[in-house]
Structures are given as structure tokens and as C-alpha cells.
Amino acid sequence: MERRLGMDMYEAFYEDPRRFYRAVEEVLGGGAEVLMRVTLLWLIQNGYLNATERELDDFLKLLKEGREEARNIIISSFRWRFEEG
């Protein structure tokens, strides 16, 4: 993934979610949406993403759109969890 992106994949997701999604799509084809759906669901269920399971389709749409507004919505939806100990 990082070779396709030319950068760290986490950095690519943060800076350009659409580019990240397209790289995943190049590798997995139609499986990209399934992987992203499972990943987003895990983030929601574990409290890292401030969203509901019903909003998965909206987040996938944002990933695919790639507009600056979409990026801002995605980034602002993350909960930064800090655990003690």
C-alpha cells in the first residue's frame, strides 16, 4: 500500500482519504468497500469514530468523494482516545 501511495498509509488516509480509498481499491478491487466497511464498523464499535453504524454508507461516500469538506468531516469524526496506565 505504501508503495502505491508513495507515503505512509495512515498519513495518506489523513491527508487525502480519496487517494487512500483508491489505493485500497487498486489492490482489492470490489473488496475495498467491504474492507472499509468492516474497518469503519470496528472504529465505531471501539469508540474511535464518532458515528453510528447507520452512518457507514455516508462515511464510505465521503471516502470516495474526496472533497476537502469530506476530509474535514471524516477527520473531525475521530475520537482521540487516551488510556491511562
Q: 9-39 as b/e, with b when 16 or more CB fall inside 10 Å? A: eeebbeebbbbbbbbbbeeeeeebbeebeee
The amino acid sitting at 2 is E
Cβ contact 18:66 at 8 Å: yes
Grid cell 507515503 is found at 7
pLDDT tens digits in sequence order for the chain, 85 residues long? 888 888 888 888 888 888 888 999 999 998 999 998 998 899 888 888 888 888 888 888 888 887 888 888 888 888 765 444 4
Cβ contact 56:48 at 8 Å: no
